[in-house]
Amino acid sequence: MEFVFTEEQAMIAETVKGFFAEHATSERTRKAMAADGIDRDLWSAFCAELGLAGIGIAEELGGAGLGMVELAIVAEAAGSQVAALPLLGQAMAAQAIAAGGSAAQQGEWLSKLVSGEAIAVCAGAEALNVADGKLSGSASFVTHGGVADLFVLGSGDSAWLVRADAPGVSVTAHTTMDQTRPMATVTLAGAAGEALADGAAALAAARQAGWVIAAAEGLGVAQASLERTVAYAKERVQFGRPIGSFQAYKHRLADMMIEIEQARSAVYWAACAVDEQSDEATIALHSAKSFAADTAFMCAGNMIQLHGGIGFTWEHDAHLYFKRARALQSMLGAGDWHREQVATMILGEAA
């Protein structure tokens, strides 16, 4: 038992933190927000130069090896800069293909996803009808769906690969509150789909990775919200003193830190439990996703309040964090749903 980063993990953390701080600047993120929600230079540096999209995918499958802890480290750093990247969908899709794809499917897609040559996203399909390998139905709230080349769509225990350019696939991109992760609706009308060899395994792996990433991003959002507010509290003077010297103010900062420390325990407990295939992995994932997303929202909301008027402006970055935090709360199962899963584990089914 040693619940701290190894030297290698600490090094990865430092590297990715530096990478996002330098490249995922507010200016570049805002450019991506005004376009399709991806900073393509950032994404290609992320995939090709640093090889970060391969984290959590076995080396023999063309990935970089390592596990959920390292993936969480990367997602935390991305979240702390609200980077405009298709990281979440890509990782979920890659995990699905690695865990449930045939050798041919893995061979065809994983190296493209790891290199960034193709963008993929994983989503749940509604009212999916399958006839002769042709799929009809739709998928809603597909993050970065408007720019994806490949969809991994889940339905029950089956998962399907659908190319965005296949006949019968139409994608409607939506103006989305969080412009760093715009959503789309994907409609299938007799579109060609290829079933993954083991759909259940694919979707389970995707879900696990999705919850870890969402939780870790939430942690990054929360920590950055606190750090930026702390900096402001030191420089902003009212009533002849720095506003951070008022207890009404600094106690709210303390409350943020108290939640963040728990969120940090939650994220790395969950990531580590998945890596170690611990019995606790399921409860850890539900805990981490619900707790860290709520922490992100609490901290980002406080960032707006504690900045006063400037925090409400478009110009200030507070709203980027606030909107990302809100999106994290709703996606991949809302907090109440995750907590109900925990309740079921300890209390049994509700009536």
CA distance 245 to 70: 37
User: Least separation, in Å, of the C-beta of 264 and other proteins?
Assistant: 8
C-beta separation of 323 from 304 below 8 A: no
Q: How far is the CB of 246 from other proteins (least distance, A)?
A: 9
Neighbours of 61 (CB within 10 A): 18
DSSP state of 277: T
Q: With respect to other proteins, which residue has the nearer C-beta, 90 or 302?
A: 302
- Residue 294, phi then psi, degrees to nearest 5: -65, -40
Q: Would you say 325 and 297 are in contact if contact means Cβ atoms under 8 Å apart?
A: yes
Token pair recorded at residue 76: 């935390």
CB 92 within 8 A of CB 150: no
Between 149 and 280, name the residue whose CB sits nearer to other proteins.
Answer: 280
Of 160, 268, 297, 322, which lies in the binding site for other proteins, with binding defined by CB under 8 A? Answer: 268
Distance, CA of 178 to CA of 71 (rounded, Å): 22
DSSP strand pairing (183-192 vs 126-131) = unpaired
Q: Which of 57, 188, 214, 272 binds other proteins (CB under 8 A)?
A: 272
Residue 22 touching other proteins (CB under 8 A): no
| Candidate segments 24-32, 83-91, 258-266, 311-319, binder of other proteins by CB under 8 A | 258-266
Question: With respect to other proteins, which residue has the nearer C-beta, 192 or 334?
Answer: 334
Q: With contact defined as beta carbons under 8 Å apart, do 144 and 37 qualify?
A: yes
Side chain identity, residue 234: K
Strands (E), 107-214: 120-124, 126-131, 134-143, 150-155, 158-163, 169-173, 183-192, 194-195
Cβ nearer to other proteins, comparing 170 with 262: 262
For position 347 contacting other proteins by CB under 8 A, the verdict is yes
Question: Is the CB of 28 or the CB of 264 nearer to other proteins?
Answer: 264
Shortest Cβ distance from residue 247 to other proteins (Å)?
Answer: 7
Q: Does the footprint of other proteins cover residue 240 (CB under 8 A)?
A: no
Contacting other proteins within 207-236 (CB under 8 A): 226, 230, 233-234
Tokens of 67: 């596990």
Nearer to other proteins by Cβ, of 1 and 127: the residue is 1
Could you say which of 21, 276, 308, 310 contacts other proteins (CB under 8 A)? 276
Nearer to other proteins, 167 or 308 (CB): 308
Q: Which tokens belong to 165?
A: 């350019």
CB nearer to other proteins: give 179 or 208: 208
Give the span between the Cα atoms of 103 and 100, in whole angstroms: 9
**Residues in touch with other proteins (CB under 8 A):** 1-6, 9, 69, 226, 230, 233-234, 241-242, 244-245, 247, 250-251, 253-255, 257-258, 260-262, 264-266, 268-269, 272-273, 276, 278, 280, 283-284, 286-287, 290-291, 336, 339-340, 342-343, 346-348, 350-351
